[in-house]
Structure 1
Amino acid sequence: MASESPGTSVPPSFVTAVGHPVRWRLLGELARGDLAVHELTALLGQPQNLVSYHLRKLRTVDLVTARRSSADGRDTYYSLDLAHCGDLLAAAGAALHPGLALGRPTPAGSAGGRVLFVCTGNSARSQMAEALLRHRTAGAVEAYSAGSRPRPIHPHAVTALAARGIDLAGARPKHFDEVTGQSFHYVITLCDKVKEICPEFPDHPRPVHWSIPDPVNDPDGLAAFERVADNLAARIEFLLHALADQQRKAS
């Protein structure tokens, strides 16, 4: 982007990459969460070969990444790198006028609501996400977690969050049954397996999926849990914007 200075006659690569209506709609769907091709084709009402073509275009500018499903190896989940998207948007604005190179403060103080994170074991990813969101908002957002087959909290999850000043030692694993029937603003699935069996919750027709690798069996050990914590923390920053926007619309 360095060569794309203000006043240039060549549009920034971001603008040309996302300018097609199908690609813009793909970004809009992936901004909510990670999706497989068959889900994107259904949402857009477009044939799979066309959706795959435009996904490749978005991957060439590193806006979208792909990860093989851990539940079904024949499936691939596509993710939008929201942070990179924000950087490219800011750079595109600066290419038009320096005054458009604006930052994007996270509205932690204005965000509220109830969020549920779910994974299979409720022993690492969902517990970490619950604690990170509660800590980030000082409890302003009610964060919960549960699993389909709860297991004891993994010690590496405790260690990874302790390095961030968050005490996870007192957390306990919880089953879906403890939250079934409750209402949440967001239900977020964190593992590909639980996505297929996530129960329905009142007033929430479509859960959001964050396809995050399970660190429990990763040979990197604690480093894998630290990567998951970084991934979750980055996604939560953008979730706060969505929660704040939802709150503004409801008021």
Structure 2
Amino acid sequence: MTSAAPHPLTLLQALAHEVRWQIVTELAQSDRRVGELMAVVGRPQNFVSYHLKQLRQAGLVRERRSIADGRDVYYTLDLLALREQLSVTGAHLHPALMPTWEPPTLDLRSPLPRPIHVLFLCTHNSARSQIAEALLRYATHGAIEVFSAGTHPTTLHPLAVTALAEFGVADAGLFAKPLAQLVPLTFEYVITVCDRAREECPPFAASTQVIHWSLPDPLEAEPLNQAPFTATAQELNTRIRFFLSRIAHDWVP
């Protein structure tokens, strides 16, 4: 049995407040903790928490406790849910307002104005960052220079390799490496996919956009089997598809 479609007013009511709009705009760029959102909107914690609750109830924002510090909670904008509600709202107003946009499988085989370098960073460089590296390289046919590293690297986990194979992506060239090995490079985007790695992330060049995606570590799942690795790959694949829209907007002529 499928769930009922959201009422068209749900989205409008959720976004019809300056603070909630500021929160959504910030979360569209990166996952954030409540303290970071307080700094953005310039309001106290109870005020920000109230509006986060409204966004959660509208199905637009998800929360997840940090694996780096259990006292912290990361908030994530559910872009797929937002897209669905935009579609419902537009369709109720007029058929011409029904969106036709899809998160792209972006083909960047045509030359870019300049090389784009993306780094995915996690703690062990054994699963999340490796999966993200392979998925983004596959989606862009190698046109973007993609790297991954760990703050405390170990080895590439075989269940991560299996998760990639489920997406038809090979693991050729993937291996765990320390961040120090990549320090000489300059990145346009650094994406931390681990809360612990975010806490240990060193400063990068001022021109680098640092983004955080708060993802659970599949290696810490119980029981340890293929399911959490596959779920991680699915979450990363969705986020990467939306991330490609940002790259297309910023870089593709």
Choose from 24, 32, 37 the match for 2:34.
37
Q: Which residue of 2 aligns with 1:83?
A: 80
* Pairwise CA RMSD: 1.8
AA partner of residue 237 (structure 2):
A
TM-score by length of 1: 0.91
Indicate the residue corresponding to 1:158 in structure 2.
161
1:229 pairs with one of 226, 229, 233:
233
Which 5+ residue runs of structure 2 have no aligned equivalent?
none
Is residue 241 from structure 1 mapped to residue 214 from structure 2 by the alignment? Answer: no
How far is the alpha carbon of 1:181 from its aligned partner?
3.8
Kindly provide the amino acid, as one letter, of the partner of residue 102 in structure 1: P
From the superposition, tell whether residues 203 and 181 of structure 1 become closer, same or farther in structure 2 (CA, over 3 Å): farther
Secondary structure of 2:187 counterpart: coil
Is 2:191–2:212's contact at 8 Å kept on the other side of the alignment? Answer: yes
Separation (CA, whole Å) in 1 of partners of 2:107 and 2:161: 26
Change (3 A) 1:143 1:226: same
Letter in structure 1 aligned against 2:55: L
Q: How far 1:203 moved relative to its partner?
A: 3.3
Equivalences for residues 104-119 of structure 1 within 5 A: 104-105=101-102, 106=104, 108-109=106-107, 113-119=116-122
Structure 1 residues 32 and 153: CA distance shift in structure 2, 3 A: same
Distance in 1 between residues matched to 2:164 and 2:50, nearest whole Å: 39
Residue equivalent to 2:52: 55
Provide, for residues 98-119 of structure 1, a one-character-per-residue CA deviation record: whole Å limited to 9, x for no partner. 1111121316125962211000
Separation in 2 of the partners of 1:134 and 1:152?
Answer: 20
Measured in 2, the distance between the counterparts of 1:53 and 1:19 equals 14
> Retained in 2: the 8 A contact 1:66–1:78?
yes
Query: By how many angstroms is 1:151 displaced?
Result: 0.6
With 202-211 and 187-196 compared, the bigger mean Cα shift is at: 202-211
Between the two proteins, the alignment pairs up a number of residues equal to: 243
| Alpha-carbon shift at residue 129 of structure 1 (Å) | 0.1
Give aligned-pair identity as a percent.
Answer: 46
Task: Give the letter for the 2:37 counterpart.
Answer: L
Preserved contact between residue 182 and residue 202 of structure 1 (Cα < 8 Å): no
2:16 alignment partner in structure 1: 19
SS at match of 2:186: coil
**Runs in 1 of length 4+ with deviation above 4 angstroms?**
1-4
| Contact in 1 for aligned 2:118/2:146 (Cα 8 Å) | yes
| CA positional deviation for 1:3 | 8.3
Query: How big is the shift at 1:169?
Result: 5.3
Q: Which amino acid aligns with 2:59?
A: D
Q: Which amino acid aligns with 1:92?
A: T
Post-superposition offset of 1:217:
2.2
Q: Which residue in the other structure is 1:7 paired with?
A: none
Helix, strand or coil for the counterpart of 1:216? helix
TM-score, normalized by length of structure 2? 0.91
CA displacement 1:127-165 (0-9 Å, x = unmatched): 000000000111122211011111110010011111211
